[in-house]
Structure 1
Amino acid sequence: MADDLDHLPETFTYRGAREAGVPKRRFYALRDSGAIDQISRGVYRRTGASRIVDLDRLEIALRAPLATLCLTTALAYHDLTDANPASIDVAVPAGAHRPQTTAPVTWHQFDRATFDLGRTELPVDDTVTIGLYSAVRSVVDAFRLRHREGEDLAYIALRRWLRRPGNSPATLHEMARNFPRAVKPITKALEILQYD
C-alpha cells in the first residue's frame, strides 16, 4: 500500500492524491491503516514524514496558494516586534478565495496591483512554500494599516528595522512610494525617530 505514496509529496491534498491516480478506496485504506495522517479537512501528510513542520502554515499554503504572511505575523518572523498574534495574519489578493482552515487565520485582502511587492517564498516543507512579505514591506504595511494594527506596532517595527546594518530611510521610502497612504506617516515617524 505504501507504494501508492511514492509519487506523492510528504504533504498533499485529497484532490492531489486522486489526481495522481490513487483510487478513492485505496486512499481511505491508507488513511485507516495509519500510513497517512489527516492534518486538516482535505489535507494529509505521510506518517513519519522526515521533517517537523509548522502544520498551520502548511495547511494555509495548501489551501490558498497565494497566501502570504503579513502584518504582525511577518513582523514577528523578521523579529521586528515582540507581539505574538493570536491568529496568523495572511494576505491574499483582493477578490481571492479565503478558505476555511483549522489554523487560526486572520485573512487580509491586499490590492492586486501591489500584492507581489516585497513578496518572497518561505519553505514550509520539502515541496510546499508560503508567501512572506519582506521586512521593509512589513514595516510599510504596518504604517499604512496603523488604524487597524495600532501605531505602536508600526513605530516599534520601524525603530528595530532602522537599527539593523544596511537599512536606510531611502529604502523604506522607495517601498512606501507604492503605497501613497504610507508615505506621510513614515516621513513623520522618521523625523521623530531622528530626534530619539
Structure 2
Amino acid sequence: MTVTELGAAFTLRDARAIGVRKDQVYDLVARGQLDRLGRGVFVRVDLIDPAHAALAAAAAARPASTMCLTSALVHHGLSDAIPFAVDVALPRGTRHPAGFEQVSWHSFEASTFAVGREFIDAGGGTEVAVYSAERTIVDSFRLMHLEGADVAHEALRRWLRRPRSSPSRLIRTAEAFPQALPRLRLALEALL
C-alpha cells in the first residue's frame, strides 16, 4: 500500500473502502506522510496546502463544511487577525465532528447556508468551501455581537477600497439576512 492510493483528505471509513487498514493509516502517520487532524480524519502532507489542511479535514468528515467568519475575512484579505482555529460553518442541525482541535465549529441556518458559498482548491485536487467576501461581511454584521463591530466595519472599509467591489451586490447578498440589512445599509451610507 502506498499513500498515493488515498485521497488528499480522507476518513478511516474512506480508507477501509479501498482496502486500507487502520494500522496501515497510522503507520503512514508515524512516517510523517499523513497528519491526523480530527478523530479518524487525515490529510496527506504532500498534497494539502497547510493553510487549508484543517478545512480539508473538516470537509472530509462533513462535506458541507464551509470556512466562515474571521477565517474567511482573513482568506479574503479583509482582516489581519490571526485566528487560533479555522472557523467552519455547518448547517444547523448537523452534528459537529469530535476531535478537531484546529477547528471552531459554527451552526448557520440551513435555509441560507448556500448563500455566497464558493469553492477553492486546497491542494491535490481537493476543493473546499469558503463563503464569499460579500457573505462574510454580511455575517460579520449579522453576528456583530460575537465578532465585534470594529471587525465588521474594518472588513467593509477594506472591501470598499477594492476596485471591483459592488455595494449593490453586497446589498443583494444581505437581503437573504433581513436582521443584518439595516446595520449594513447604515454603515454603507456612512462610508460612501
The TM-score with structure 1 as length reference comes to 0.85
**What is the aligned counterpart of 1:162 among 143, 160, 163?**
160
Return 128-137 or 36-45, whichever deviates more.
Answer: 36-45
1:32 matched to which residue of 2?
27
The 2-side partners of 1:174 and 1:52 are apart by 32
The 1-side partners of 2:164 and 2:35 are apart by 44
Classify 1:102/1:111 alpha carbon distance in 2 versus 1 (closer, same or farther; 3 Å). Answer: closer
Quote the sequence identity (%): 40
The 2-side partners of 1:67 and 1:124 are apart by 13
1:59 matched to which residue of 2?
57
Larger Rg: 1
| One-letter amino acid of the counterpart of residue 133, structure 1 | Y
The 1-side partners of 2:117 and 2:85 are apart by 20
| One-letter amino acid of the counterpart of residue 188, structure 2 | L
Question: 1:88 aligned to 2:83?
Answer: no
The 1-side partners of 2:148 and 2:82 are apart by 14
| One-letter amino acid of the counterpart of residue 148, structure 1 | L
1:79 matched to which residue of 2?
77
| One-letter amino acid of the counterpart of residue 93, structure 1 | P
2:114 matched to which residue of 1?
116
The 1-side partners of 2:47 and 2:4 are apart by 14
SS in 1 for 2:88: strand
Runs (5+) with no aligned partner, structure 2: none
Deviation at 1:172, TM superposition (A): 1.1
The 2-side partners of 1:105 and 1:75 are apart by 16
Deviations 1:13-57 (A, max 9, x none): 2211111123x3xx52464374853523323455x7356534322
Classify 1:135/1:14 alpha carbon distance in 2 versus 1 (closer, same or farther; 3 Å). Answer: same
The 2-side partners of 1:111 and 1:51 are apart by 29
The 2-side partners of 1:16 and 1:140 are apart by 36
Deviation at 1:69, TM superposition (A): 0.5
1:69 touches 1:131 (CA, 8 Å); kept in 2? yes
Classify 1:140/1:191 alpha carbon distance in 2 versus 1 (closer, same or farther; 3 Å). Answer: same
Classify 1:125/1:190 alpha carbon distance in 2 versus 1 (closer, same or farther; 3 Å). Answer: same
- Aligned length in residues: 188
When the two chains are superposed, the root-mean-square deviation of aligned CA atoms in Å is 2.2
1:12 matched to which residue of 2?
10
The 2-side partners of 1:86 and 1:17 are apart by 29
1:70 touches 1:138 (CA, 8 Å); kept in 2? yes
Deviation at 1:130, TM superposition (A): 1.9
Deviations 1:139-194 (A, max 9, x none): 11101111111100110011111111121221111111110011100111112113
The 1-side partners of 2:100 and 2:40 are apart by 11
Deviation at 1:9, TM superposition (A): 2.1
1:102 matched to which residue of 2?
100
**What is the aligned counterpart of 2:68 among 64, 70, 73?**
70
The 2-side partners of 1:163 and 1:72 are apart by 19
| One-letter amino acid of the counterpart of residue 177, structure 1 | E
